[in-house]
Amino acid sequence: MCLLILAHQVTPGTPLVVTANRDEFHARPTAVSDFWEEQPDLLAGKDLEQGGTWMGITRNGRFAAITNYRDPARTAPSPRSRGELPLNYLAGAEGPETYLGRVAEQGQHYAGFNLLLGDSDSLWYFSNSLPVAQRSPTCLQPGIYGLSNALLDTPWPKVGLGKAKLQQVLDSGALSHDQLSAVINDRQLADPGALRLHGMSSDMDQLLSAQFIVTSQYGTRSNTTLWTQRDGLVSWRELSFNASGARHAVRELEFQLT
C-alpha cells in the first residue's frame, strides 16, 4: 500500500505540493533519493531490485509518481516492472499525454497501477485498472487529489483524512516539510465500519488501513514531501523509516528548475 496526497495549481505561489508515503517490504533493497549518476537531472529514490522508481522530479520540471492497484484477484507476476513507467517518463522528452497514450497501449504487460505525470503546465492521470472504456489519459483540473491503492480519489478513510489535512495546511499559508509529513502520518487503524463501506473487510484491509503502516515485514519505508514554487525553486525532503516506524535518515534538497 502507498499513499499520495497532492495539490495541483491550488495556491498561486506553489503550483505543485505533494506528500507521499512509500509502503514496501523492508527486505526490498532501496537507495535513498538523490540525483542519479546516470540521469543527473533526475531526483528520485531507486528500487535496487528492478532499477525503477516510485516518484521523482527533474530539473526541467517533469514530475511522476506511481502506486500499485490492490486487487487480490490479480496476483500473478507480470512481465514488466511498474517502476519503469515513471522512470521512462522522467528520463524522456515526451509530453505527459503522448507518453500516457503509449502506456495505455501496453498496460496489459504490468500489474495494476495508478500513474501521475506532470510538467510545468499540467498534471495527468492514467490507470490500467480503470474499466476498459475509460482507459484513456485524463488531464486533471486544479484541485487537491488523493491516491492510494485504488483509483484516484477513491474515498478510503486515509485518503479523505489526508485531503482534509492538506487543505488545512494550504489554508494556513505556512508551508513546511514537517506540516506536509504530518498530513499522512496517522498510525491509527481505520474504523472497520468505514472500511466495509468500500468492500474492505479482511484482516489485511484493517492492518493496512492506517496512513502510516508499521509491521515487522512490511510498512511505510519513506515519506517524501515536495513543492514547486512559481519562481522555479523546488524543495524536496525524504524521511526514511525502519521496521519499527522510527526515522533513521533524512535527505533534503533544494534546486532551481532550468
pLDDT band for 149, please (50, 70, 90 cuts).
very high
Query: In this structure, are residues 104 and 129 in contact, taking their beta carbons and an 8 Å threshold?
Result: no
Query: In this structure, are residues 92 and 82 in contact, taking their beta carbons and an 8 Å threshold?
Result: no
**Residue range 42-48: average pLDDT?**
97
Cα(122)–Cα(128) distance, integer angstroms: 20
Cα(175)–Cα(231) distance, integer angstroms: 16
Instruction: Give the relative orientation of helices 96-106 and 84-91 as an angle to the nearest 10 degrees.
Output: 150
Cα(74)–Cα(68) distance, integer angstroms: 12
Has residue 11 got a pLDDT over 70?
yes
Domain covering 3-154+216-256, topology: Penicillin V Acylase; Chain A (3.60.60)
- In this prediction, residue 76 carries a pLDDT of 60
pTM: 0.94
Expressed in percent and rounded to 5, the helix, strand and coil fractions of the chain are 20, 35, 40
Has residue 41 got a pLDDT over 80?
yes
Has residue 72 got a pLDDT over 70?
no
Q: Strand, coil or helix: what is 180? A: helix
- In this prediction, residue 23 carries a pLDDT of 96
- In this prediction, residue 71 carries a pLDDT of 75
Has residue 1 got a pLDDT over 70?
no
Cα(64)–Cα(89) distance, integer angstroms: 7
Q: What's the grid cell of residue 133?
A: 472504456
Full strand arrangement of the beta sheet holding 218-228: 143-147, 3-11, 14-25, 218-228, 233-241, 247-256
pLDDT band for 177, please (50, 70, 90 cuts).
very high
- In this prediction, residue 73 carries a pLDDT of 62
- Lowest model confidence (mean pLDDT) among 93-102, 204-213, 225-234: 204-213
Domain spans of the chain, in order of start = 3-154+216-256
pLDDT band for 132, please (50, 70, 90 cuts).
confident
- In this prediction, residue 74 carries a pLDDT of 61
- In this prediction, residue 225 carries a pLDDT of 98
- In this prediction, residue 196 carries a pLDDT of 83
- In this prediction, residue 143 carries a pLDDT of 98
Taken as a whole, the chain contains a residue count of 258
- In this prediction, residue 79 carries a pLDDT of 82
**Residue type at 12 in one-letter notation:** P
**Residue type at 135 in one-letter notation:** R
Q: Strand, coil or helix: what is 154? A: coil
**Residue type at 154 in one-letter notation:** T
**Residue range 196-217: average pLDDT?**
86
What's the whole-number average pLDDT of the chain? 94
- Lowest model confidence (mean pLDDT) among 141-145, 175-179, 200-204: 200-204
* CB half-sphere exposure, 114, CA atoms < 13 A: 20
Cα(236)–Cα(224) distance, integer angstroms: 7
Query: In this structure, are residues 64 and 94 in contact, taking their beta carbons and an 8 Å threshold?
Result: no
Q: What's the grid cell of residue 55?
A: 516518484
- In this prediction, residue 75 carries a pLDDT of 58
pLDDT band for 250, please (50, 70, 90 cuts).
very high
Has residue 170 got a pLDDT over 90?
yes
DSSP H helices in the chain: 84-91, 96-106, 157-172, 177-183, 192-196, 203-207
**Residue range 107-130: average pLDDT?**
94
Has residue 91 got a pLDDT over 90?
yes
Q: Which residues contact 23 (CB under 8 A, 6 or more apart)?
A: 1, 2, 3, 208, 213, 218, 219, 220, 221
